[in-house]
Amino acid sequence: MSYDLKDITQDDFNLAESTLISVIKSAYPNLDMRKGTVLRELLTKVAAELWSLNTKRTTDLSNTYSLSQLEAAPEGNEEAVDRLLSNFLVVRKQGSYASGQLIVKVQYSRTYTITTSMVFTTLSGLAYSPELEYTVESNPQTTGALTLYTHESGTYYYFMLPVKANLTGIVYDVPQGTSFSMSSAFSGFVTAEAYYDFSGGSISETASQVLGRLPAAIATRSLESRYSISSRLREQFTAIHSVSAVGMGNAEQLRDKHYVFSIGGRGDVYAKTFMALPIVTLRKTATKVSEGVYQFSLVRDEVPGYYLIRAITNIDSVTNAGLEFGTLSVLGSYAFTDVRSADLSGCRHDFDVSAGYVETAYTRYQISDVFVNANLQSDTTEFKVEIYVAPFIKDIQDYMDDSEVGNLMADLVVRCPIACVVSAKMTVYQPPNAAPVASDDMVTTVVDYINNTTFGHILSKSQIVSALSDKYQISRIDLSDSVYGMSLGGVMRAADGTYITISGSELDIASIQRPTVLVTPNTVVFTANRKDIFITVVKE
Amino acid sequence: MNATTNYSNRVVDIELLQTVENPTGERQVSISISQPIARIVTGVQKSIQRYAAIFLSVQDSKFDSALGTDFMKQMWGGTLTTRERISSAFAFANADVMEIMQKDDSASTYVDTQPDDEKISQVDLLDYQIDYAKAQLMLRLLITTAAGTSMEFVLPTTAPRT
C-alpha cells in the first residue's frame, strides 16, 4: 500500500514531532523549540511529517515481510497478502457468479432477440444478465436458438433463458420461483421467474483462507502426494475449494483391494469444486416402459460425476423445494428410481464392477437409467430433471489423464465428494436494544459458514452459534434438542445408493462412517442450501 | 536588541527574515542585499518574529489546526474593507496569538527561565496602510515586553491577485 501525507494521523505526527524535539533539545538545549519559532515551524514540523510518513511505510513493509505477522492479522491486509503470495505464484480466488435459468413469459408468438445488455432484477435488487445473445423462435432454425413454448392453457408463451449474476456472492443463489422484472423490458415481456434454484455464487476467498492453503500451494506441483495433488489441481482449476486424496491402505480406497494384498498405485481424488452443491436442470424425454412408469437415461459425460437427482417434475412446474430427511428428494417431485452403472469404454483405470458399481460411483464414467413413476397418458413425455452436480469432474479427470501431466506410476480417479446436505432449525434471541437483523441475513451467514468447511470437518451446533455471534448481537440460542431448541442434521447418499442420516449436537462423519460405500471423513463434505436453514429471530 | 544586555546563555531561534543593516527610515528591501548565512536571534526580536509567524499562519492547517489566526483568511476574503473591521479583526487575531503563545510557554520547560524582555505583555495596532494597487496591507504594531521595553515593527501582508 502506498502512503502519502493524508494517511498520517495526528497521533502519528505528534509522536514523530515530540521525538524529534526531544532528540534535538538533548543535544542542543539552548534552541527555542516552542510553537511559532522558525526552528519548530519551518524545520522540525516538516521533518516530523516526513519522519512519520517513512515510519508508516517501514512498518507496513516489515509487516508484509513476515508471513507470521500477516497470519496474525490477515484481514485488512489483503493487498499485502496478495503481494506476498505472488512470490509463490499463488492467487487468491475471487468470488464466483451464481447462474441459473429463468422461465420468461411473453405475450406474443413471434421471434424475440435477447441481448447481453438486458438486465433482470429481483425485488431485492439482485441483477442478472444473459451471457450470450439468443434468438427465441417457436421453431428454431439456427444453432443455439431458444425454443418458444406455448403454455398448455394457450394463454401465454414462454422460453428458458440462461442468465448469470452481475456480481459475485452467495446471496445471488436465489431460490426457484423468485420473480424478476426488467427496468427496460423488451416488447412482449410479461414476467420472469427462476426456473430452479440458482447456484454457484460464492464470496471471494478471504486472506485467512488463502494463507491457510499456502502449505499445499507451495508444495511440489506434481500428482504424487496429498499436498502436491491438492496444490497442482488448485493451481489449474481455480474453482476448487478443497481436495482430499485417498490412496493405498486407506479403508475407503477400494480399488487397491482387487487382489489378495493391497497394492499401490491407486488413488481417488475427491474434488470439492463448489461451495453449495450446484444444481443442473435438464429436459429429458422419457419413454413409457410399463403402466405408470417412464424411463430415461443419463449417459456418460452428460452430467459427469453427478451426485444425485434432486427432483423430477413436469416441464413447467415450480416445485416447493424443501428438504426431507432420509430421501433428499423434494416435495412435489415424482417418485423415481435411479439405477446406476458405468460406461468404461476407453477407460484405462482399474475398476471392479463385478459386484456392483460402487467403485465407479461419482466418477465421470458413471451412467444411469432413471425410472419415473408418473400416471400420464402419452407414450413419451418430457420431464424437468434437477441434478446435484459438482462442476469440472470430467475436466479434472482429463487433466490428470493427460500423458504430459499425469503420474506415470499411478492410477488416479476423480470423484465428486459425498455431500452431506445439512439442515438446521433454530431460534435466535436478541437483546431488546439490538440492531434489527433480517433472518435471511443470518441464514446467509450460516450457509456461508457450512459451505466453507472442508473434508474431515466436524460440524457442531456451537460452531454455528459462534459464527452468528461473531456477526450479530445475540443474547442466547437454545441448543437443546427440544422442540423449541436447535436441530442440526444431515443426509448423504452413499456410493451404493443408500441414504445415511446424521443428527445431533455434533455431526461427526467418523461416527457413522462406512468405508465400503465410500463414506468417511476423507470423502464427505458438508454443504447447505438457504431453504434448508430455518432461523427465527426473537427480541426479548 | 539592546547593546548593553547580556545575551549569553539565551535560548535562541533562527532569523525568520534577514535584518536590514543600518536602517535609515523606510527602505525598499530586495533579495540582492540578502546574505548567504542565516543568523540566530534571541530577545525581543525572537519574540517579535514568533508573534509574526503565528499571526500570519492560517488556522486549520494539518497537524496543528489550532495554530494561527483568521486574519489572513479575512483579508483574502475581502472582508477588511473599513478601518473598524481591520481593528476588530486585528483584536481577535492578537488575542488568539497571545493565548497560543502563553499556552505553549506554560507547557514548556523554558517558562521558568524566560527573560522578561522576551515575554510579550501587550501588542497595540498603531496604524495601518492599504495599498489597493499592490494589494498590500501594512500593520504598524507596538510590542511591549514584561521588561518594559517597547518596539515598533511593521507586519506586511499581501493579498493574492486574481
Best residue in B50, B101, B117 for a mutation probing chain A (most A CBs within 10 Å): B50
B110 contact A CB<8A = yes
Residues A317 and A381: their CA atoms lie apart, in Å, by: 14
pLDDT at A321: 46
Residue A121 in this model has a pLDDT that exceeds 90: yes
Which chain A residue lies closest to B62 (C-alpha atoms)?
A10
At B159 the pLDDT is 57
Does the CB of B15 have a partner CB in chain A at under 8 Å? yes
Reported ipTM: the value is 0.83
Q: Do A36 and B51 touch (CB under 8 A)?
A: yes
pLDDT band, very low/low/confident/very high, at A251 (cuts 50, 70, 90): confident
The pLDDT score that the predictor gives to residue A414 is 94
Strands A524-539 and A418-430: parallel
CA distance A102 to A119: 12
* Average pLDDT of span A508-513: 94
Q: Does the pLDDT at position A493 exceed 60?
A: yes
How does the average pLDDT of chain A come out, rounded? 85
Q: CB–CB of B46 and A37 under 8 A?
A: yes
Q: Smallest Cα–Cα separation from A525: which of A230, A104, A244, A320? A: A244
Residues paired with A530 in a beta bridge: none
Residue A279 to residue A307: CA distance in whole angstroms: 10
- Give the cell for residue B103: 499556552
Share of chain A above pLDDT 70, in %: 90
- Residue in this structure with the C-alpha cell 492479522, named with its chain if needed: A73
Question: Grid coordinates in use for A372?
Answer: 419415473
Residues in B closer than 8 angstroms to A30, CB to CB, are 9-12
Range of lowest pLDDT (A52-56, A464-468, A479-483): A479-483
Q: Which DSSP state fits A42? A: I
**Residues comprising chain A, all counted:** 540
pLDDT top residue among A495 and A251: A495
d(CA A217, CA A236) in angstroms, rounded, equals 11
- Which residue in A172, A217, A232 sits closest to A67, CA to CA? A217
* Residue A81 pLDDT level (bands cut at 50, 70, 90): confident
Angle between helices A45-65 and A10-27 (to 10 degrees): 120
Question: Mean pLDDT lowest for which of A66-80, A243-257, A294-308, B30-44?
Answer: A66-80
List alpha helices for B7-67, DSSP H.
Answer: 43-56
**Tens digit of pLDDT for each residue in A7-26?**
888 888 999 999 999 999 99
Average pLDDT over residues A376-398: 90
* Cα–Cα distance, A286 to A372 (Å, whole number): 9
Residue type at A494 in one-letter notation:
A
Distance CA A313, CA A315 (A): 6
Question: CA of B133, closest CA in chain A: separation in Å?
Answer: 31
Contact A500, A514 (CB under 8 A): yes
Burial class of residue A58 in the structure, from the number of CB atoms within 10 Å of its CB (0-12 exposed, 13-18 middle, 19+ buried)? exposed
Q: Residues 19-38, chain B: which have Cβ within 8 Å of A?
A: none
Mutate to test the interface with B, among A20, A21, A38 (most CBs of B within 10 A): A38
pTM: 0.59
pLDDT tens digit sequence for A341-375: 999 998 888 888 887 888 999 999 999 999 999 88
Q: What is the pLDDT of residue A259?
A: 66
Cell 432420509, residue? A326
Question: Residue B114: what pLDDT?
Answer: 85
Q: Which residue of B has its CA nearest to A43?
A: B14
What confidence score (pLDDT) does residue A219 get?
Answer: 59
Sign of CA dihedral A500, A504, A509, A513: negative
CB contact at 8 A, A319 and A333: yes
pLDDT value of residue A530 = 81
Show the cell assigned to A539: 427480541
Q: Do B63 and A39 touch (CB under 8 A)?
A: no
Residue from A99, A107, A98 nearest A159 by CA: A107
Cβ-in-10-Å burial (0-12, 13-18, 19+) of A416 comes to: buried
Residue among A5, A35, A48 minimizing CB distance to B104: A35
Report the candidate in B3, B7, B4 with the shortest Cα–Cα distance to residue B118: B7
The Cα A58–Cα A65 span in angstroms is: 10
A21: contact with B, CB 8 A cutoff: no
Q: How far apart are CA A308 and CA A321, in angstroms?
A: 15
The closest alpha carbon to A340, from A385, A374, A306, A311, belongs to A306
**Residues within 8 A of B (CB atoms), A 233-252 only:** none
By the 8 A CB rule, do B91 and B85 touch?
A: no
Could you tell me if A34 lies within 8 Å of chain B, comparing CB atoms? Answer: yes
| Grid cell listed for A463 | 460452531
Q: Is residue A539 over pLDDT 80?
A: yes
Q: Does A371 touch chain B (CB under 8 A)?
A: no
Which member of B9, B54, B110 has the closest CB to residue A36? B54
- Give the helix/strand (H/E) hosting A232: helix A226-236
Question: What is the interface size between A and B, counted as CB pairs within 8 Å?
Answer: 57
In terms of Cα–Cα distance, which of A514, A457, A462 is closest to A488? A462
- The answer to whether the CB of B26 falls within 8 A of the CB of A47 is no
Give A220's Cβ-side CA count (13 Å radius). 5
Determine the 3-state secondary structure of A58 from DSSP: helix
CB neighbours of residue A391 within 10 Å: 22
The pLDDT tens digits of the residues spanning A280-327 come to 888 899 999 999 999 999 999 889 999 999 889 887 665 544 444 334
On the question of pLDDT at A165 being above 80, the answer is yes
Q: Read off the DSSP letter of residue B133.
A: T
Q: Is B62 on the interface with A (CB under 8 A)?
A: yes
Please give chain B's pLDDT, 162 residues, in tens.
455 667 777 888 988 776 655 555 555 555 666 667 778 888 888 898 899 999 988 887 778 888 999 998 888 888 888 888 889 999 999 999 999 999 998 888 777 788 888 899 999 999 888 776 776 778 889 999 998 888 888 886 665 544
Q: In sequence order, what are the residues at sequence separation of 6 or more whose Cβ sits closer than 8 angstroms to the Cβ of residue A485?
A: A426, A427, A478, A479
**Pick from A366, A368, A395, A370: which is nearest to A383 by CA?**
A370
Residue that wins the pLDDT comparison between A279 and B6: A279
**Which backbone phi and psi does B97 adopt, to 5 degrees?**
-65, -45
Amino acid at A385: V
Q: Do B11 and A35 touch (CB under 8 A)?
A: no
Best mutation target among B63, B96, B120 (most A Cβ atoms within 10 Å) is B63
CA distances to A37, A114, A216, A530, B100 from A13, rounded to whole Å, are: 18, 59, 43, 49, 19
Residues above pLDDT 90, as percent of chain A? 41
* Nearest neighbour of A34 by CB, restricted to B16, B63, B108: B108
Q: How far is residue A229's CA from residue A219's CA, in Å, rounded to a whole number?
A: 9
Nearest alpha carbon to residue B56 among B81, B33, B78, B76: B76
Please report how many Cα atoms fall inside a 13 Å half-sphere around the Cα of residue A331, on the Cβ side: 8
